[in-house]
Amino acid sequence: MLCPNLNAALMAEVFHCTTSNGIILSNCWFAFGAYGTKHPLRATKVEEFFIGKVLSVGVLYEAVKLLGAIVVPEFAHTTISRCLGIPEHNVRVITRRVGGGFGGKCFRAMPVATACAVAAYKLQRPVRIYMNRKTDMIIAGGRHPMKITYSVGFKSDGKITALDILINAGISVDLCKTNHSSKSAMRAPGEVQATFTAEAVIEHVATTLSLDVDSVRSKNLHNFNSLVFFFEGSAGEPVEYTLPSIWNKLAISSSFKERTEKIKQFNTCNKWQKRGISRVPIVHEVALTPTPGKISILSDGSVAVEVGGIELGQGLWTKVKQMAAFALSSIQCDEMGDFLEKIRVIQADTLSLIQRGLTAGSTKSESTCEAIRLCCNMLVERLILINKKLQEQMGSVKWSTLILQCGFCTLGMCMSLFSALVNAEKTPSNEICTFPEFLKNEDGSALLLDSRRYSWYSPVSIGELQRSLSSVENGNGSRVKVVVGNIGMSYYYKELESFDKYIDLRCVPELSMIRRDDIRMIIGATVRISKAIEALREGNIVWKKIADHMEKVASRFVRNSASLGGNLVMAQRNHFPSDIAIVLLAVGLLVNLMNGLKSEEITMEEFLRMPELDSKSILVSVKIPDWDRIMSISSGTKMKLLFETYRATSRPLGNALPYSNATLMAKISRCASFDGMVVSDYRFAFGAYGTKHTIRATKVEEFLTGKVLSVDVLYEAVKLLRNIVVLDDDTSYPAYRSSLAAGFLFEFFSHLVEGNAESPNGYMNGYSTLMSPARHLDHGKVSTLLTSGKQEVELNKQYIQLMSQLLSLGLSSKLLVRYTNSVLYHEAHELISYLAVYVDDIPSPTKCLHGAFIFSTKPLARVKGIELKPKSVADGVNAVISFKDILGENLGIKTGFGPEPLFADDFTRCTGQYIALVVADTQKHADMAADLAVVDYDMENLEPPILSVEEVVRKSSFFEVPSFFQPKQVGDFSKGMAEADHKILSAEIKLGSQYYFYMETQTALAVPDEDNCIVVYSSIQAPEYAQSTISRCLGIPEHNVRVITRRVGGGFGGKAMEAIPVATACALAAYNLRRPVPMHMNRKTDMKTTGGRHPMEVTYSVGFKEDGKMTALHLDILINAGIGVDISPIIPLFMVDAIKKYDWVAFSFDIKVCRTNHSSKSAMRGPGEVQGTFISEAVIEHVASVLSMDADSGAAGELKEYTLPSIWDKLAASSSFKERTDMIKQFNMCNKWQKGGISRVPIVHEVLLQSNPGKVSILGDGSVAVEVGGIELGQGLWTKVKQMTAFSLSAIQCDGMGDFLEKIRIIQADTLSLVQGGLTAGSTTSECSCEAVRICCNILVERLTPIKEKFQEQMGSVEWGILILEATSEVEVNLLTGQTTILQSDIIYDCGQSLNPAVDLGQIEGAFVQGIGFFMLEEYLSNSDGLVILEGIWTYKIPTVGTIPRQFNVEIMNSGHHKKRLISSKASGEPPLLLAVSVHCATRVAIREARKQLLHWKGLNESDLTFQLEVPATMPIVKKLCGLENVEIYLQSLLS
Catalytic residues: 1470
Cβ neighbours around 1534 below 10 Å, total: 17
CB within 8 Å of 874: residues ≥ 6 apart: none
Nearest to 541 by CA among 640, 648, 607, 622: 640
Helix (H, G, I), strand (E, B) or coil at 93: coil
User: What whole-number distance in Å separates Cα of residue 1199 and Cα of residue 1139?
Assistant: 11
The backbone torsions φ and ψ at residue 626, rounded to the nearest 5 degrees and listed phi first, read -95, 95
- What angle, 0 to 180 degrees and rounded to 10, lies between the N-to-C axes of helices 1131-1139 and 1169-1186? 40
Question: Interior CA angle at 225 toward 220 and 231, to 5°?
Answer: 85
User: What whole-number distance in Å separates Cα of residue 1247 and Cα of residue 1465?
Assistant: 10
> Which amino acid makes up residue 412?
G
> Which amino acid makes up residue 1186?
V
CB 94 within 8 A of CB 347: yes
Sequence-separated contacts (24+) of 814-822 with Cβ below 8 Å:
816/1397, 817/793, 817/1397, 817/1398, 820/1283, 820/1396, 820/1397, 820/1398, 820/1399, 821/1398
Helix or strand holding residue 1282 (H, E): helix 1277-1289
- Please name every residue paired with 306 in a beta bridge, in sequence order, or none if there are none: 294
| Distances 1449 to 814, 1244, 1383, 1411, 1445 between C-alpha atoms, Å | 16, 20, 11, 16, 9
Nearest to 1171 by CA among 1520, 1519, 1512: 1512
User: What whole-number distance in Å separates Cα of residue 1465 and Cα of residue 991?
Assistant: 32
Could you report how far apart the first and last alpha carbons of the chain are, in Å?
107
Helix (H, G, I), strand (E, B) or coil at 1141: coil
Helix (H, G, I), strand (E, B) or coil at 7: strand
- What angle, 0 to 180 degrees and rounded to 10, lies between the N-to-C axes of helices 1477-1498 and 1397-1412? 30
Peptide bond into 292 cis (omega under 30): no
Nearest to 89 by CA among 1259, 1195, 895, 1322: 1259
The backbone torsions φ and ψ at residue 1348, rounded to the nearest 5 degrees and listed phi first, read -65, -40
851, HSE (Cβ side, Cα atoms, 13 Å): 32
Helix (H, G, I), strand (E, B) or coil at 574: coil
Nearest to 1325 by CA among 1136, 1120, 1147, 1467: 1467
CB 667 within 8 A of CB 712: no
Helix or strand holding residue 1181 (H, E): helix 1169-1186
- Please name every residue paired with 1380 in a beta bridge, in sequence order, or none if there are none: 1373
Helix (H, G, I), strand (E, B) or coil at 800: helix
> Which amino acid makes up residue 560?
N
| Distances 1363 to 41, 86, 87, 1344, 1351 between C-alpha atoms, Å | 10, 19, 16, 8, 8
CB within 8 Å of 254: residues ≥ 6 apart: 279
